Amino acid sequence: MNQRSRLTLLVFQIFIISLFLALIGRLFYLQVAAGPKYKDAALSIQSRDVVTLANRGLIVDDYGVPLASNRVGLAVTVNRIKIDQQPDKGVAVLTKIARMLDLKYEDVWQETRLCGELPVGQRTGCWKGSRYQPIPIIRDADPNIALQIVERSTDYPGIDATPLSMRSYPEIDGVNAAHVLGYTGSLTEEDLATGKFYRSETIGKAGLELQYDEYLRGVPGIKTVIVDRKEAVTRTSQNTKPMSGNHLITSLDVRLQASAEAALKDAVLRAKASGYRADGGSAIVMDIKTGRILALASYPTYDPNQWERGLTASQAKALFSEKNGVPALNRPLQGLYAPASTFKALSVIAAKDAGYSLSASYDCPAYVDVGTRRFKNYESKAAGRLSMKKAIAISCDTIWYTIAYREWLKDGGLKPVDPKDYFFNVANGFQISKKTGIDLPAESAGRVPDRAWKQRNWESTKDFYCNYKERAEKKALTPFLIQLARENCIDGMKLRAGDAVNFAIGQGDTVLTPLKMAQMYAAIGNRGTIWQPTIAKAIVTTEGRILKEFTPQVLGTIPADKETLDFLHAALHEVTISGTAAGVFSGFPVPVSGKTGTAEVFGRNSDGSKKDNTSWFASFGPTNNPRYAVVMMVSQGGFGASTSAVGVRRIYSTIFGVTGNKLDPAKALFPSSGPPTKLPIISPATKPKNPNESATVTR
Amino acid sequence: MSMINDRIRLYRRSRTSPFSGFDPVLLISVLILLVVGTLLVYSATRQWYAANGLDPQYYLKRHVINVFIGCALAWGVTVIDYRLLRAYTPIVWGVGVLGLLAVLIPGLGSEINGAKAWISLPGGFQIQPAELAKISIIVGMSMLLAERDHSSDEPSTREILQALVVAGVPVLLILAQPDMGTVFIISAVVVTIIAASGAPMRWAVALLLIAVVGGLVATKAGVINDYQIKRLQSFVDPNADSTGAGYQLRQARITVGSGGLIGTGLFNGPQTNGRFVPEQQTDFIFTVAGEELGFVGSAGILLALLLILIRGFAIARKSTDPFGTLVCIGVIAWFSFQIFENIGMTLGLMPMTGVPLPFLSYGGSSMFANMIGIGLLQNIHTRHRG
């Protein structure tokens, strides 16, 4: 070999060795550096999870009556793999099945598309699961049609009918409780991204179903199979049985809930009949010794079963339609309303703190001038000189204008010096601007328009008011509004006399939820304890073992002494004897204490009409040994007495067993000891059989 | 005295044992690879054939037969006098060219994956003449370039042109199949042999240019089929063709990557058992090694392959006549480029072509050719030691 050939050979050898180094480097990258990534990719290629859904736990009332249970529906499902293999991609069979089930072909087509297959913005109703799962197009089919599909399967290639566990709200005693119970639904992409769920699982979406989902849901059974390229199963790598969800025992009582719903509906309809708009309402019954919620009703309501049947687009729209009164809104804990005269119970405490005698007499003139503004009594009538008790009973406003104005002046008026703020302090003592902490999602907090709030509010709005001419709409540029804006810009943070006197009668910027009202009157009724309202009593397993008990929590104590509470108990009872609710409670055999409220609402409805008053009745009873707080509220419902107090009387009638004016203790809902403290036994008969024998496959 | 010693040595070498005088490292490396390859072929086919109601040892049995035939061929080539080899070379070449012509005749050749590269024989056997053509090209070119009728260091232009004709005829026939992977490998071998023969560098450079330009023209002129262009595209963008070549390449990469450091263990690779990589007992055999033997095992295979090549270089250096050196270099170039093309394709470094992995892939023709190649290396080694 000559020199040059040797050199060529050496260069060639180096070249070959470097090629091999490149291969080893690449191999190292694929297997060691990026190995975990490829392992995951391989796993998703080979493994299929066959998911057997768990039965969801029941939700029952205090005696074990089911509020939410499961039943077996017949689902008609579409197998996308088989459909796609057909020459026409399943158009013919889908058309046929849509006609049979009385569905629109377009809807069926849309429902059987994977969301990822459709362009963004056209995904409504698309299938959120995987291609390997049977896609239900109807969950509750006519058994005859389902049978036909199963028997003549060759006529319906790729279509199947299979029993499916469905959530059911049995509406025992006509109970609806849609807002409390909530509903269940399939997973969203965001839910899936948490990695906690399997695609075909159903989870709680609202209400108790959402709040206690982790207990109710159970654990689906997972069988992981390893498949080959032809999707043939080669072996099973994991196999767990489904574990049923646990049952939720609530403090709700089906009979009382049904009664509260009926009374509320009746109140709304009566108010409508009297010419009020009456666009919604709330009714709440609370055990004031524990804070447990016995009934919670919101009006208007909706059918809780409509989700399982398959919510149509128009049903979904109706839930949020203003014309229908936004049925989706859970008014007892999401609606915010001015408390009006019901707030005077708090004003009594404030007046006592400020040194006013509760046994003294006070003038109740037709009006009081506060600065340049004239604040009128209700219907501008003078009632002469009254005891404080009588003033509460007939709901005199002018007493409170006088007291609140005097205290505002004492606090320094527009130039406050070390203000005492008795009224605000009492309101904050009742925790009005805090949520009640009820075990339901999406609660709203109330508002106490005290000096701190005024300051915050001014800081967030001053930019608008100080540039009013540039920012406001043309039609809002009247000289009056421009003047008002200028004042707001300069000293909008200041607490004006008008703010102070309005606050004393629960008007102005003060708002709270009906649930907060129930919590407040419960605290007055039980002589001081602010309870956190709770619905859940316990979680029990399907075998009956108690997994978790929920003990009610004390959130605080109201700032009222014994003398004031004695006075309030008597004065609020007087309301039903000689006061605004005397007519409504005339002849009622059980003494109760309460307060009417008729709140003025500013602003207009969408059709331009002026808003009607909010009707309130907040109460507790029996007066001598209070056990229950009952609150009803009808927005735009007119007077407190004629709309809400009537409804509250009906609810008390159910609780105590009153028919007309006759008390029959045997008909009382609860024994004299009150609502049950023992947990009910959920009988094995209510334990549903697992209908999910046809498991679904997901990647 | 020394002449007597030489004779004795020669006598012992040819008489004592059929393996005496073989390069032991080369021999052991090849044997290891043959055993590993047999296990991999079995793993690649066992589960799938069983699942489909076929004999799970179908491929195993045939592969073992191929291995034994291959070993016999290697032994035969090793012990043959290589003057005899030179005498037979024109015949081997001629048979190879005839074979390559035969595959192009409709009815005689069978088409697999778009290439007419096989001749079907009775009993389900097939032969691939291109594999054997590689050997006749290497030996033929080495003969022409090593035996000079003048005393110059460089081969004459006439000799180079003759050598190119020897290589060119089969290459054109393979191009017509078309089997671009084999054309690529043979072209690289031709350039390497020309460069190593001491021919002026301009030849090597010119041939490289012709190969590149030819490749481009072939693409444009449609000599390369659609499926081949797709394969190339899917190399550039693995997502371009998610069902065909792109699918195969991605599956191959996932399968290799999922093996991790130590692999799933032989016969335990779920990707392999699920047969997610098509052609995994032939062109994609390395994915089985990747998944089941992990980085440790796959790198071990690469090292064993590299050992064969390094031994090849040593034998080429020690060879005392230019013919032996050139044959050695030709065989090394063939093995190296084919290994790099095959594993590079599996790992996503090279475009997809259908070439088997020497010593490991299932396939008789390829196995026989590889073993003949090994026989040539051993033959040169036994005759030109020290």
DSSP letter string over A310-337? ---HHHHHHHT-TTTT-TT--HHHH--B
At position A20, the amino acid (one-letter code) is F
Q: Is A606 exposed, middle or buried (0-12, 13-18, 19+ CB in 10 A)?
A: exposed
Q: Please tell me the predicted confidence (pLDDT) of residue B2.
A: 54
**Ordered DSSP codes for B277-328:** STTTTTTTHHHHHHHHHHHHHHHHHHHHHHHHHHHHHHHHHH-SSHHHHHHH
* Facing A30 at nearest CB: one of B253, B273, B310: B253
The pLDDT value given to residue A301: 95
Which among B78, B86, B183, B77 is positioned nearest to B130, based on CA atoms? B183
Residue type for B244, please?
G
- Residue A197 has a pLDDT of 83
Q: Which of A474-478, A609-613, B237-241, B250-254 has the lowest mean pLDDT?
A: B237-241
CB half-sphere exposure, A180, CA atoms < 13 A? 35
- Are B259 and A35 inside 8 Å of each other by CB? yes
Q: How far is Cα B67 from Cα B80, in angstroms, rounded to an integer?
A: 20
Looking at residue B3, what is its pLDDT? 57
Q: Which residues from chain B sit within 8 angstroms of residue A3, using beta carbons? A: none
Map tokens 């999870």 to a residue.
Answer: A49
Q: Give the per-residue pLDDT at A162.
A: 82
- Can you tell me the distance from the alpha carbon of A486 to that of A415, in angstroms, rounded to the nearest whole number? 19
The shortest C-alpha distance from A41 to chain B (Å) reads 7
Contact B347 A229 (CB under 8 A): no
pLDDT along chain A (699 residues), means of 10: 79 94 95 91 80 87 92 86 85 90 86 81 72 79 85 87 86 93 85 79 92 93 78 76 92 96 97 94 97 96 84 78 88 95 96 94 93 84 92 94 95 90 95 96 94 92 86 82 86 90 93 97 96 96 92 94 96 95 95 95 84 95 95 94 95 95 93 90 56 41
Q: Is B101 helix (H, G, I), strand (E, B) or coil?
A: helix
Predicted pLDDT at B9: 57
CB contact under 8 A, A27 and B275: no
Residue B144 vs residues B33, B138, B193: alpha-carbon distances, Å = 33, 10, 11
A299-353 pLDDT, tens per residue?
999 998 888 877 766 777 888 888 888 899 999 999 999 999 999 999 999 999 9
Q: Are B259 and A4 in contact (CB < 8 Å)?
A: no
Distance CA B228, CA B226 (A): 5
In this prediction, residue A269 carries a pLDDT of 96
Residues of A in Cβ contact (< 8 Å) with B153: 2, 4
Tell me, what's the pLDDT at A186? 79
Cα nearest neighbour of A3 on chain B: B198
pLDDT beyond 80 at B232? no
Distances (CA, A) of A60 to A39, A541, A543, A651: 46, 13, 15, 21
B319: chain A residues, CB-CB within 8 Å: 1
Tokens 């050992």 map to which residue?
A: B307
Residue B5: CB atoms within 10 Å: 9
Tokens of A204: 């709680």
Scanning B335-364 for CB atoms below 8 A from A yields 336, 340, 343-344, 347-349
B29 touches chain A (CB under 8 A): no
Contact call for A228 and B48, based on CB within 8 A: yes
A233 interfaces chain B, CB cutoff of 8 Å:
no
The residues in B 101-160 lying below 8 A from A, measured between CB atoms, are: 153
Is the pLDDT reported for residue B19 higher than 60?
A: no
- A235 to chain B: closest CA residue: B270
Euclidean distance between CA atoms B25 and B304, whole angstroms: 9
Nearest to B324 by CA among B335, B310, B313, B308: B313
Chains A and B: how many Cβ contacts under 8 Å? 137
Q: Is A161 helix (H, G, I), strand (E, B) or coil?
A: strand
Q: From the candidates B152, B295, B318, B337, which should be mutated to test the interface with A, based on the most A CB atoms within 10 A?
A: B295
Q: How confident is the model at residue B224 (pLDDT cuts 50, 70, 90)?
A: low
User: For the purposes of burial, counting CB atoms within 10 Å of the CB of A690, is it exposed (0-12), middle (13-18) or buried (19 or more)?
Assistant: middle
Q: Does A224 touch chain B (CB under 8 A)?
A: no
CB of B51 within 8 Å of any CB in chain A?
yes
For residue B215, is pLDDT > 80? no
Other CB atoms within a 10 A radius of the CB of residue B113 amount to: 13
**Could you tell me if A537 and A250 are in contact, meaning their C-beta atoms sit under 8 angstroms apart?**
yes
> What is the distance, to the nearest Å, from the Cα of residue A258 to the centroid of all Cα atoms in its chain?
18
Kindly write down the DSSP assignment for every residue of A74-98, as one continuous string.
Answer: EEEEE-HHHHHHSTTTTHHHHHHHH
Centre a 10 Å sphere on the Cβ of residue A255 and count the other Cβ atoms it contains. Answer: 19
The pLDDT of residue A683 is 64
Amino acid identity at A510: T
ipTM of model:
0.90
pLDDT confidence of residue A691: 44
Gap from A4 CA to chain B (nearest CA, Å): 7
What is the rounded distance in angstroms from the CA atom of residue A377 to the CA atom of residue B361? 102
- Interface check for A38 against chain B (CB to CB < 8 A): the answer is yes
To the nearest whole angstrom, how far is the Cα of A154 from the nearest Cα of chain B? 26
What are the Cα distances from residue A348, in Å, to A392, A491, A559, B343? 9, 30, 11, 90
Expressed in percent and rounded to 5, the helix, strand and coil fractions of chain A are 40, 20, 40
Neighbours of B61 (CB within 10 A): 11
> How much is the mean pLDDT over chain B?
84
Nearest to A46 among B271, B294, B332 (CB): B271
For chain A, the residue count is 699
| A137 contacts A44 by C-beta, under 8 angstroms | no
As a whole number, mean pLDDT of residues B18-28 equals 80
Closest chain B residue to A230 measured between Cα atoms? B274
Q: Which residues contact A689 (CB under 8 A, 6 or more apart)?
A: A72
Contacts of B190 in chain A (CB under 8 A): none
Cα separation, B107 vs B125, whole angstroms: 15
CA distance B375 to B77: 5
What mean pLDDT is predicted for residues B214-222? 65
**Contact (Cβ atoms closer than 8 angstroms) between residue A572 and residue A593:** yes
Query: What would the pLDDT profile of B317-376 be if each residue is shown by its tens digit?
Result: 988 888 889 999 999 999 999 999 999 999 988 888 889 999 999 999 999 999 999 999
Residue B386 binned pLDDT confidence (cut-offs 50, 70, 90): very low
Q: Could A42 and B294 be called an inter-chain contact, meaning their C-beta atoms sit closer than 8 Å?
A: no
